[in-house]
Amino acid sequence: MPERDEPNPLAAGLSQSLLAQPCSLAIFGGSGDLAKRKLVPALYNLALDGVLPANFAVVGIGRSDFDDETFRDVAREGVERFSRRRLDANHWPDFERSLFYHRGSVDDPASYAELKARLEKIEAACGVSGNRVFYLSIPPDRFRTCAEQLRAAGLVTPSDGPGPFTRIIVEKPIGHDLASAREVNETLAQVFDERQIFRIDHYLGKETVQNILVMRFGNAIFEPLWNQKYIDHVQLTVAEAEGVGTRAGYYEGAGALRDMVQNHILQLLCHVAMEPPWSLDPDVVRDHKLEVIQCLRPVTGDDVDARVVRAQYGAGFHRGDAVPGYRQEEGVGRDSTTETYVALQLFIDNWRWAGVPFYLRTGKRLPKRASEIAVHFKDVPQILFNRDRDAPLASNVLALRIQPDEGLSLRISAKLPGPQVQVYPVKMDFQYGSTFGEQSPEAYERLLLDVMAGDATLFMRRDAVEASWAWIDPILAAWERSGARWLPEYDAGGWGPVEADRLMQSSGRRWRTL
Ligand code: BG6
């Protein structure tokens, strides 16, 4: 438990967060899956915490033939099934009153005029004075139409005017390569100022990801060691047990490199590797993160084969049940060369990280869901307790467990009790669950709150998205050139292909067992 005379850390965290301003949140794609599974449950939990503004309305927009009542029923079902906290029957009627539905199509200009009239009515009833957040939970190829129509209907206020604010939230994928990402960003920039655009990378909303900076810069003991003098290498794993599921339509055109590495994993890397920002101002933090991406050594030409492994899952087992290989999944081409697994080695060519390899791996249908960043420190000199070259001491490893089982552990050497000097690796362990008790808020809770408060720290800035693609593009280009008709396979339920092990072994290292 927290120290006794400390304030309750969860309450302190909430009171420190910026205040969400009264606003309406209009969700395009409001009758869709994201709204039901993530957005509404997140808003409900914010309401339970009492941090939603008193004057607030959610307006789901979609083509489904819903009315306010149906939308509320679907929302209720979403909360019952997906919320981290149970639905409280006493509280629900209050929350439900702020939910509305507007039937309309993204493509139909008339819908926007109707939406404007509806919003004005709802806002008058809910005491909202024109602050608006538009959530584009729609395919990226509809962004342009939606943004332009919002402007044409007079639904976008200038970012620097004295009047109410307009903000827009977009989800990944922001493009599928650098050129298309620029196009999406340009489209949005025609209508919105960068300060009005909130690009979600939901990994940044995870408590454990936010904790990386607190751990690094809120403690005196890590930062002096956080560099090439003391760190041997870093391993970053984002493992998923699930397969492609029902998302083959999207995933076939994406693959693990685009789906996970370009965004979530490079963002995690930025948090681990960035220089200390001098303030928590959103742009100062994001400038420092951007520098990491700019310092990534390009992986091009022959280097791609040497440093990047891609693979696809074959048939295997998931929790004891036989599961099909990727090519046999519904909606996947029988000759698909979409990678479901990527492992790579990269370098950050700056003073701090010169020569330190970072190993990244991510895949679907691995043995379990487990994401972790493991910082491996250099060995102690081979004298005293580390003299035996055949049985070297285990090095210190700081493991930041992103999910599940959130926490961090430090592996250190200790003396085994007894008359002889025998050294044994032991772990110092911090677990969120046992320390803070309550389940951590979901990423979308924090992110939605931040948009309403106007804090963009945890959102992707245009330059970072484009810099990530600029680094990813040559890898994609090399893969395209190779014209592979077959990828290395790994068994579903296994830890990836042997090629990924070789990537490590060539430097005398190995992947951690999670
Ligand atoms: C999404 C990817 O962005 O992140 C999915 O598109 C992936 O393919 C998901 O499964 C993983 O998110 P989380 O929060 O479950 O680790």
pLDDT single digits (tens) 78-118: 999 999 999 999 999 999 999 999 999 999 999 999 999 99
Contact 358, 347 (CB under 8 A): yes
pLDDT confidence tier of residue 438, bands split at 50, 70 and 90: confident
The residue nearest atom 4 of ligand 1, judged by CA position, is 260
Q: What is the pLDDT of residues 271-308, one digit of tens each?
A: 999 999 999 999 999 999 999 999 999 999 999 999 99
- pLDDT higher than threshold 70 for residue 23: yes
Question: Which of 33, 38, 170, 240 to mutate for ligand 1's pocket (most ligand atoms within 8 Å of CB)?
Answer: 240
Q: What distance in angstroms lies between residue 240's CA and the mean position of ligand 1's atoms?
A: 8
Atom of ligand 1 nearest to the CA of 206: 14
- pLDDT higher than threshold 50 for residue 12: no
Q: What is the pLDDT of residue 14?
A: 42
- pLDDT higher than threshold 50 for residue 9: no
Question: Which of 203, 207, 244, 264 to mutate for ligand 1's pocket (most ligand atoms within 8 Å of CB)?
Answer: 264
Q: What is the pLDDT of residues 391-429, one digit of tens each?
A: 999 999 999 999 898 999 999 999 999 999 899 999 999
Q: What is the pLDDT of residues 177-233, one digit of tens each?
A: 999 999 999 999 999 999 999 999 999 999 999 999 999 999 999 999 999 999 999
The residue nearest atom 6 of ligand 1, judged by CA position, is 259
- pLDDT higher than threshold 80 for residue 344: yes
Per the annotation, the verdict on 288 as an active-site residue is: no
The DSSP secondary-structure symbol of 54 reads S
CB contact set of 193 (below 8 Å; sequence gap of 6+): 158, 159, 160
Distance between CA atoms of residues 338 and 487, nearest Å: 8
Atom of ligand 1 nearest to the CA of 443: 14
* Chain Cα centroid distance, residue 253: 20
User: What's the alpha-carbon Rg for the chain, to the nearest Å?
Assistant: 24
The residue nearest atom 9 of ligand 1, judged by CA position, is 260
Q: What distance in angstroms lies between residue 242's CA and the mean position of ligand 1's atoms?
A: 10
Q: Which two tokens stand for residue 50?
A: 């009492």
Evaluate whether the domain defined by 20-171 bears CATH number 3.40.50.720. Answer: yes
Class of domain 204-505: alpha beta
Mean pLDDT across the chain, nearest whole number?
93
Q: What is the pLDDT of residue 199?
A: 97
- pLDDT higher than threshold 80 for residue 316: yes
> Coil, strand, or helix at residue 160?
coil
Pocket lined around ligand 1, Cβ cut-off 6 Å:
202, 240, 259
Atom of ligand 1 nearest to the CA of 259: 6
Question: Which of 34, 260, 265, 447 to mutate for ligand 1's pocket (most ligand atoms within 8 Å of CB)?
Answer: 260
Q: What is the pLDDT of residue 2?
A: 46
Q: What is the pLDDT of residue 18?
A: 66
Q: What distance in angstroms lies between residue 34's CA and the mean position of ligand 1's atoms?
A: 12
Contact 356, 236 (CB under 8 A): no
Of these residues, 202, 233, 264, 288, which one is catalytic? 264
Instruction: Report the candidate in 63, 490, 492, 460 with the shortest Cα–Cα distance to residue 266.
Output: 460
Q: What is the pLDDT of residue 118?
A: 96
What ranges do the domains of the chain cover?
A: 20-171, 204-505
Q: What distance in angstroms lies between residue 239's CA and the mean position of ligand 1's atoms?
A: 10
Q: What distance in angstroms lies between residue 468's CA and the mean position of ligand 1's atoms?
A: 18
- pLDDT higher than threshold 90 for residue 1: no
Q: What is the pLDDT of residue 440?
A: 84
Contact 101, 59 (CB under 8 A): yes
- pLDDT higher than threshold 60 for residue 7: no
Distance between CA atoms of residues 288 and 290, nearest Å: 5
Q: What is the pLDDT of residue 433?
A: 86
- Whether the CA torsion 49, 52, 55, 59 is positive or negative: it is negative
Q: What distance in angstroms lies between residue 444's CA and the mean position of ligand 1's atoms?
A: 13
Atom of ligand 1 nearest to the CA of 371: 16
Question: Which of 202, 369, 373, 402 to mutate for ligand 1's pocket (most ligand atoms within 8 Å of CB)?
Answer: 202
pTM of the full predicted structure?
0.93
Question: Which of 203, 236, 244, 362 to mutate for ligand 1's pocket (most ligand atoms within 8 Å of CB)?
Answer: 203
Q: What is the pLDDT of residues 362-387, one digit of tens each?
A: 999 999 999 999 999 999 999 999 99
Instruction: Report the candidate in 332, 329, 359 with the shortest Cα–Cα distance to residue 344.
Output: 359
Q: What is the pLDDT of residue 159?
A: 86
DSSP for 427-459? Answer: EEEEEHHHHH-SPPPPHHHHHHHHHHHT--TTS
The residue nearest atom 13 of ligand 1, judged by CA position, is 203
DSSP for 282-334? Answer: HHHHHHHHHHHHHTBPP--THHHHHHEEEEEEEEEEETTEEE--GGGSTT--T
The residue nearest atom 8 of ligand 1, judged by CA position, is 259
Percent of the chain whose pLDDT exceeds 90: 89
Q: What is the pLDDT of residue 162?
A: 83
The residue nearest atom 15 of ligand 1, judged by CA position, is 240
Q: What distance in angstroms lies between residue 442's CA and the mean position of ligand 1's atoms?
A: 13
- In residues, how long is the chain? 514
> Coil, strand, or helix at residue 192?
coil
Percent of the chain whose pLDDT exceeds 70: 96
Atom of ligand 1 nearest to the CA of 244: 8
Atom of ligand 1 nearest to the CA of 251: 8
Q: What distance in angstroms lies between residue 364's CA and the mean position of ligand 1's atoms?
A: 10
Q: What distance in angstroms lies between residue 121's CA and the mean position of ligand 1's atoms?
A: 37
Q: What is the pLDDT of residues 444-457, one digit of tens each?
A: 999 999 999 999 99
Q: What distance in angstroms lies between residue 368's CA and the mean position of ligand 1's atoms?
A: 14
Distances (CA, A) of 140 to 39, 184, 506: 18, 8, 41
Atom of ligand 1 nearest to the CA of 364: 10
Q: What is the pLDDT of residues 33-85, one digit of tens each?
A: 999 999 999 999 999 999 999 999 999 999 999 999 999 999 999 999 999 99
Atom of ligand 1 nearest to the CA of 403: 16
Q: Which two tokens stand for residue 491?
A: 């068994």
